[in-house]
Amino acid sequence: MSVTHLGTGSRGNATLIDTEKKKILIDQGFSGKEIEKRLARMEITPNEIDAMVISHHHGDHGGGAKIMQKKWGTPIYCNLRTAGALGLDLVQSNIFDDFDLLEFDNSLSVLPIPVPHSGADNVCFVASHQKKRAAVITDLGSWTEEMVTHIKGCDHISVEANYDVNRLWNGPYPQTLKNRISGKGGHLSNDETGEFLTRVVDKETKSIVLTHLSEKNNLPHLAESTVLYHLDEVFQGDIAISMQDGPDFSHHIGQYEKETNPARGLVLRG
């Protein structure tokens, strides 16, 4: 199973889960033209996507779902509030509740787990394939014990590290927006992401990707150094940063070496 972020950030998010038999998108916050272009970098067309699961209805995560459904007939999986807010065809959509196990073949399943995020019924996802698990978590200002229980020990964890506290509070945003971002239903700071990872990382965790970094309130080296400070001796695997312009790398769950991808850079195996 491979995990590839096609881009993460406030201008669009999409993640590809790829196995020998299935290609699943987690979120699609890009235009039809843009998702075509990003998939083409991996020599994939939208017609090859077997299904898409949507975390919530905010435009940078679900704004491209309708075009996938209408233009390419992609099966959509989401909760009822998300489907309604995005104007999806409910007859052609697969509506799930929290903790409903979504099975795409006899070896790939995806579990939606609720996360705190204001103004949305947001979920994160844990994909399971051949006894390996990968978590994709974004847009949350805090976490729950349920999340910790289900994510602990995943082989791969992609999680947002949205902002650096000093850059947010000294930055140009109005105070109301700063309060919303830093609130319990907003986004995780670099420190909070580090604290969360100390709760869920164990010896099974081989790779971490930090996602959804704010272009104004964060920097890649701040996110990585802050998270590693918290993890210290707990984590010895690969850590990478996913930015807005992707895809740049893939993580292949179940292997552990690095090799060069001639098209886009590093393929990280963990």
pLDDT 10s digit of each residue in the chain, 270 long?
999 999 999 999 999 999 999 999 999 999 999 999 999 999 999 999 999 999 999 999 999 999 999 999 999 999 999 999 999 999 989 999 999 999 998 889 999 999 998 888 999 999 999 999 999 999 999 999 999 999 999 999 999 999 999 999 999 999 999 999 999 999 999 999 999 999 999 999 999 999 999 999 999 999 999 999 999 888 989 999 999 999 999 999 976 433 333 344 444 444
> What is residue 151's predicted lDDT score, i.e. its pLDDT?
97
Element (H, E) at 193: helix 190-200
Could you please report the per-residue DSSP string of 92-103?
TEEE--TTPPEE
CATH number at residue 248: 3.60.15.10
| Structural domain boundaries, residue 205 | 2-269
Tell me the C-alpha to C-alpha distance, in Å, between residue 141 and each of 104, 160, 210.
Answer: 30, 10, 15
What's the N-to-C CA distance of the chain in angstroms?
10
User: In Å, how far from its chain's centre is CA 66?
Assistant: 19
Give the total number of structural domains in the chain.
1
Q: What are phi and psi of 205, to 5 degrees?
A: -80, 115
Spatial distance between the Cα atoms of 259 and 102, rounded to a whole number of angstroms: 32
Spatial distance between the Cα atoms of 159 and 157, rounded to a whole number of angstroms: 6
Q: What are phi and psi of 251, to 5 degrees?
A: -110, 125
Tell me the C-alpha to C-alpha distance, in Å, between residue 267 and each of 22, 45, 98, 155, 252.
Answer: 19, 20, 32, 16, 8
Spatial distance between the Cα atoms of 149 and 204, rounded to a whole number of angstroms: 14
Q: Which residues of 131-167 are buried (b: 16+ CB within 10 A; e: fewer)?
A: eebbbbbbbbbebeeebeebbbebbbbbbbbbbbbeb
